[in-house]
Amino acid sequence: MVATISNASEKSAASIAFLIPAGRNNSCCPPDPATVQAVAVPLRSEATELFDRKTNVVASLIRGHLGKAPARILVVGCGTGREAAQLALSLDAEVTGIDIRPRFDEKAAHVATLQWGDATALDFPDGAFDFVYSYHALEHIPDFRRALAEMHRVLAHGGGYCVGTPNRQRLVSYLGSEGVSARKKLLWNANDWKARLKGKFRNEYGAHAGFARAELREELTAALGPAVDVTLPYYLNLYARRERYIRFLEQARLSALLLPSVYFVGQRAAESRH
Protein backbone atom coordinates (compact mmCIF):
# COMPACT_ATOMS: atom_id res chain seq x y z
CA MET A 1 0.00 0.00 0.00
CA VAL A 2 1.21 3.50 -0.75
CA ALA A 3 -0.23 6.43 1.14
CA THR A 4 -0.51 9.99 -0.10
CA ILE A 5 1.33 12.86 1.54
CA SER A 6 -0.55 15.65 3.25
CA ASN A 7 0.43 19.14 2.13
CA ALA A 8 1.90 21.10 5.03
CA SER A 9 0.21 24.27 3.81
CA GLU A 10 -3.21 22.72 4.41
CA LYS A 11 -2.74 22.07 8.11
CA SER A 12 -0.09 22.89 10.66
CA ALA A 13 0.28 19.33 11.89
CA ALA A 14 1.01 17.88 8.49
CA SER A 15 1.90 14.25 8.04
CA ILE A 16 3.93 12.25 5.58
CA ALA A 17 4.03 8.60 4.66
CA PHE A 18 6.96 6.30 4.21
CA LEU A 19 7.50 2.92 2.65
CA ILE A 20 8.93 0.02 4.62
CA PRO A 21 8.82 -3.72 3.95
CA ALA A 22 6.36 -5.52 6.21
CA GLY A 23 8.08 -6.94 9.27
CA ARG A 24 11.45 -5.39 8.40
CA ASN A 25 13.01 -2.07 9.30
CA ASN A 26 16.52 -2.45 7.94
CA SER A 27 17.41 -4.56 4.93
CA CYS A 28 20.38 -5.22 2.69
CA CYS A 29 17.98 -5.80 -0.17
CA PRO A 30 15.71 -3.37 -2.07
CA PRO A 31 12.17 -3.20 -0.61
CA ASP A 32 9.62 -5.32 -2.43
CA PRO A 33 6.92 -2.87 -3.61
CA ALA A 34 4.31 -5.58 -3.07
CA THR A 35 5.03 -5.71 0.67
CA VAL A 36 5.51 -2.07 1.59
CA GLN A 37 3.50 -0.38 4.31
CA ALA A 38 2.73 3.30 4.77
CA VAL A 39 3.36 4.93 8.13
CA ALA A 40 2.47 8.52 9.01
CA VAL A 41 5.08 10.79 10.55
CA PRO A 42 4.02 14.14 12.11
CA LEU A 43 5.67 17.37 11.01
CA ARG A 44 6.19 20.51 13.04
CA SER A 45 4.08 23.53 12.12
CA GLU A 46 7.17 25.44 10.94
CA ALA A 47 7.11 23.28 7.80
CA THR A 48 4.33 25.37 6.26
CA GLU A 49 6.52 27.92 4.47
CA LEU A 50 9.55 25.71 3.79
CA PHE A 51 7.69 22.54 2.82
CA ASP A 52 9.44 20.61 0.05
CA ARG A 53 7.41 17.59 -1.05
CA LYS A 54 10.26 15.67 -2.69
CA THR A 55 12.61 16.01 0.26
CA ASN A 56 9.74 15.07 2.54
CA VAL A 57 9.40 11.77 0.69
CA VAL A 58 13.15 11.17 0.93
CA ALA A 59 12.99 11.84 4.68
CA SER A 60 10.31 9.19 5.02
CA LEU A 61 12.47 6.67 3.16
CA ILE A 62 15.40 7.48 5.45
CA ARG A 63 13.33 6.80 8.54
CA GLY A 64 11.92 3.66 6.96
CA HIS A 65 15.35 2.26 6.16
CA LEU A 66 16.91 3.04 9.53
CA GLY A 67 13.83 2.25 11.60
CA LYS A 68 14.36 5.58 13.39
CA ALA A 69 15.19 9.18 12.61
CA PRO A 70 18.89 10.15 12.66
CA ALA A 71 19.83 12.88 15.13
CA ARG A 72 22.81 14.57 13.39
CA ILE A 73 22.62 14.98 9.61
CA LEU A 74 25.11 16.47 7.16
CA VAL A 75 23.76 17.64 3.79
CA VAL A 76 26.55 17.75 1.19
CA GLY A 77 25.80 20.22 -1.60
CA CYS A 78 22.82 21.81 0.11
CA GLY A 79 22.19 24.58 -2.45
CA THR A 80 19.78 27.10 -0.96
CA GLY A 81 19.44 25.01 2.19
CA ARG A 82 15.72 24.36 1.79
CA GLU A 83 16.28 20.61 1.57
CA ALA A 84 18.39 20.71 4.73
CA ALA A 85 15.62 22.64 6.47
CA GLN A 86 13.00 20.14 5.33
CA LEU A 87 15.06 17.24 6.67
CA ALA A 88 15.39 19.05 10.00
CA LEU A 89 11.63 19.51 10.17
CA SER A 90 10.59 16.10 8.87
CA LEU A 91 13.05 14.14 11.02
CA ASP A 92 13.27 16.53 13.99
CA ALA A 93 17.05 16.39 13.59
CA GLU A 94 20.05 18.69 13.96
CA VAL A 95 21.04 19.36 10.35
CA THR A 96 24.14 21.01 8.91
CA GLY A 97 24.27 21.88 5.22
CA ILE A 98 27.40 22.77 3.26
CA ASP A 99 27.81 24.13 -0.24
CA ILE A 100 30.74 25.57 -2.18
CA ARG A 101 28.46 28.34 -3.54
CA PRO A 102 26.66 29.80 -0.51
CA ARG A 103 23.34 31.26 -1.61
CA PHE A 104 21.30 30.24 1.38
CA ASP A 105 17.60 30.85 1.93
CA GLU A 106 17.16 33.12 4.95
CA LYS A 107 14.23 31.15 6.35
CA ALA A 108 16.01 27.82 5.87
CA ALA A 109 18.99 29.19 7.79
CA HIS A 110 16.74 29.57 10.85
CA VAL A 111 15.99 25.84 10.79
CA ALA A 112 19.32 24.29 9.73
CA THR A 113 22.97 25.32 10.10
CA LEU A 114 24.11 26.38 6.63
CA GLN A 115 27.73 27.17 5.81
CA TRP A 116 30.35 27.23 3.08
CA GLY A 117 32.12 23.94 2.63
CA ASP A 118 34.09 21.83 0.16
CA ALA A 119 32.68 18.32 -0.27
CA THR A 120 36.18 16.96 -0.98
CA ALA A 121 37.64 18.42 2.24
CA LEU A 122 34.90 18.47 4.87
CA ASP A 123 35.74 20.62 7.86
CA PHE A 124 34.35 18.20 10.45
CA PRO A 125 35.98 15.61 12.71
CA ASP A 126 35.74 11.88 12.06
CA GLY A 127 32.37 10.39 12.96
CA ALA A 128 30.74 13.78 13.52
CA PHE A 129 27.39 12.76 11.97
CA ASP A 130 25.14 9.75 12.10
CA PHE A 131 23.68 10.43 8.65
CA VAL A 132 24.92 11.99 5.40
CA TYR A 133 22.56 13.17 2.66
CA SER A 134 23.43 14.36 -0.83
CA TYR A 135 20.94 15.07 -3.60
CA HIS A 136 21.87 16.18 -7.13
CA ALA A 137 25.33 17.24 -6.01
CA LEU A 138 27.67 14.31 -6.70
CA GLU A 139 27.46 14.77 -10.48
CA HIS A 140 28.80 18.34 -10.10
CA ILE A 141 31.90 17.32 -8.14
CA PRO A 142 34.87 16.46 -10.43
CA ASP A 143 36.59 14.33 -7.78
CA PHE A 144 33.37 12.70 -6.59
CA ARG A 145 35.19 9.68 -5.14
CA ARG A 146 37.14 11.99 -2.84
CA ALA A 147 33.80 13.49 -1.74
CA LEU A 148 32.41 10.01 -1.03
CA ALA A 149 35.52 9.17 1.00
CA GLU A 150 34.99 12.33 3.05
CA MET A 151 31.34 11.40 3.64
CA HIS A 152 32.53 8.02 4.91
CA ARG A 153 35.05 9.70 7.22
CA VAL A 154 32.56 12.01 8.93
CA LEU A 155 29.97 9.25 9.38
CA ALA A 156 29.86 7.55 12.76
CA HIS A 157 30.15 3.76 12.80
CA GLY A 158 26.78 2.36 11.80
CA GLY A 159 25.73 5.74 10.42
CA GLY A 160 23.50 5.92 7.36
CA TYR A 161 23.48 7.74 4.06
CA CYS A 162 21.14 8.72 1.25
CA VAL A 163 22.42 9.79 -2.17
CA GLY A 164 20.38 10.75 -5.21
CA THR A 165 21.52 11.90 -8.65
CA PRO A 166 20.05 12.34 -12.11
CA ASN A 167 19.58 9.07 -13.98
CA ARG A 168 22.17 9.05 -16.76
CA GLN A 169 20.11 6.58 -18.81
CA ARG A 170 16.99 8.78 -18.93
CA LEU A 171 15.53 9.76 -22.28
CA VAL A 172 14.00 13.03 -21.09
CA SER A 173 14.71 15.33 -18.16
CA TYR A 174 13.50 18.34 -16.18
CA LEU A 175 9.76 17.65 -16.64
CA GLY A 176 9.16 18.02 -12.91
CA SER A 177 11.36 21.09 -12.48
CA GLU A 178 9.40 23.81 -10.67
CA GLY A 179 9.51 27.43 -11.80
CA VAL A 180 11.05 26.55 -15.16
CA SER A 181 9.37 27.43 -18.47
CA ALA A 182 8.51 24.76 -21.04
CA ARG A 183 10.83 26.50 -23.49
CA LYS A 184 13.78 26.21 -21.10
CA LYS A 185 13.01 22.55 -20.42
CA LEU A 186 13.04 21.85 -24.16
CA LEU A 187 16.33 23.71 -24.52
CA TRP A 188 17.94 21.75 -21.68
CA ASN A 189 16.77 18.44 -23.15
CA ALA A 190 18.10 19.48 -26.56
CA ASN A 191 21.50 20.19 -25.02
CA ASP A 192 21.49 16.81 -23.28
CA TRP A 193 20.74 15.04 -26.55
CA LYS A 194 23.49 16.93 -28.36
CA ALA A 195 25.91 15.66 -25.73
CA ARG A 196 24.57 12.11 -26.09
CA LEU A 197 24.99 12.14 -29.85
CA LYS A 198 28.58 13.31 -29.44
CA GLY A 199 29.25 10.57 -26.87
CA LYS A 200 29.84 13.17 -24.16
CA PHE A 201 26.80 12.82 -21.94
CA ARG A 202 28.89 12.25 -18.85
CA ASN A 203 29.70 14.30 -15.77
CA GLU A 204 33.38 14.61 -16.64
CA TYR A 205 32.47 16.44 -19.84
CA GLY A 206 30.39 19.00 -17.98
CA ALA A 207 27.00 17.45 -18.81
CA HIS A 208 24.28 17.28 -16.16
CA ALA A 209 24.30 13.51 -16.66
CA GLY A 210 24.36 11.89 -13.22
CA PHE A 211 24.77 8.14 -12.87
CA ALA A 212 23.02 5.01 -14.07
CA ARG A 213 21.54 2.88 -11.28
CA ALA A 214 24.27 0.24 -11.52
CA GLU A 215 27.01 2.86 -11.63
CA LEU A 216 25.80 4.70 -8.55
CA ARG A 217 25.20 1.49 -6.59
CA GLU A 218 28.78 0.36 -7.32
CA GLU A 219 30.34 3.69 -6.31
CA LEU A 220 28.32 4.02 -3.10
CA THR A 221 28.88 0.42 -2.02
CA ALA A 222 32.63 0.72 -2.57
CA ALA A 223 32.97 4.04 -0.73
CA LEU A 224 30.29 3.98 1.96
CA GLY A 225 28.77 0.55 2.40
CA PRO A 226 26.02 -1.64 0.89
CA ALA A 227 23.55 0.49 -1.08
CA VAL A 228 19.81 -0.18 -1.19
CA ASP A 229 18.00 1.06 -4.30
CA VAL A 230 14.94 3.07 -3.23
CA THR A 231 14.24 4.66 -6.61
CA LEU A 232 10.98 2.78 -7.11
CA PRO A 233 9.61 3.39 -3.57
CA TYR A 234 10.50 7.08 -3.95
CA TYR A 235 8.45 7.51 -7.14
CA LEU A 236 5.59 5.32 -5.88
CA ASN A 237 5.29 7.56 -2.84
CA LEU A 238 5.83 10.85 -4.67
CA TYR A 239 3.30 10.06 -7.39
CA ALA A 240 0.88 7.80 -5.55
CA ARG A 241 -1.94 8.54 -7.99
CA ARG A 242 0.20 7.21 -10.84
CA GLU A 243 1.09 3.98 -9.08
CA ARG A 244 -0.16 1.69 -11.88
CA TYR A 245 1.83 3.60 -14.49
CA ILE A 246 5.04 3.52 -12.42
CA ARG A 247 4.68 -0.20 -11.69
CA PHE A 248 4.12 -0.86 -15.39
CA LEU A 249 7.34 1.00 -16.24
CA GLU A 250 9.27 -1.09 -13.73
CA GLN A 251 7.77 -4.40 -14.85
CA ALA A 252 8.37 -3.55 -18.51
CA ARG A 253 11.97 -2.59 -17.65
CA LEU A 254 11.38 0.92 -18.94
CA SER A 255 11.94 2.76 -15.66
CA ALA A 256 15.69 3.00 -16.33
CA LEU A 257 14.90 5.06 -19.42
CA LEU A 258 12.00 7.16 -18.10
CA LEU A 259 12.55 7.84 -14.38
CA PRO A 260 14.65 11.03 -14.13
CA SER A 261 16.61 10.26 -10.97
CA VAL A 262 18.05 7.39 -8.97
CA TYR A 263 18.16 7.11 -5.17
CA PHE A 264 20.02 4.88 -2.74
CA VAL A 265 20.17 4.53 1.03
CA GLY A 266 22.64 2.52 3.06
CA GLN A 267 24.84 2.31 6.12
CA ARG A 268 28.52 2.99 6.68
CA ALA A 269 30.87 0.07 6.20
CA ALA A 270 33.93 -0.39 8.36
CA GLU A 271 36.28 0.09 5.41
CA SER A 272 36.05 2.19 2.25
CA ARG A 273 37.89 2.66 -1.00
CA HIS A 274 40.14 5.74 -0.80
The pLDDT tens digits for 232-247 are: 999 999 999 999 999 9
Within the chain, which residues score under 50 in pLDDT?
Answer: 1-43, 45, 272
- pLDDT given for residue 49 in this prediction: 72
d(CA 41, CA 38): 10
Q: Are 149 and 133 in contact (CB under 8 A)?
A: no
Q: Quick count: other Cβ atoms within 10 Å of Cβ 45?
A: 12
- pLDDT given for residue 184 in this prediction: 87
Q: What is the pLDDT of residues 111-150, one digit of tens each?
A: 999 999 999 999 999 999 999 999 999 999 999 999 999 9
Q: Are 84 and 115 in contact (CB under 8 A)?
A: no
Residue 42's φ and ψ, nearest 5 degrees, are: -70, 150
- pLDDT given for residue 20 in this prediction: 34
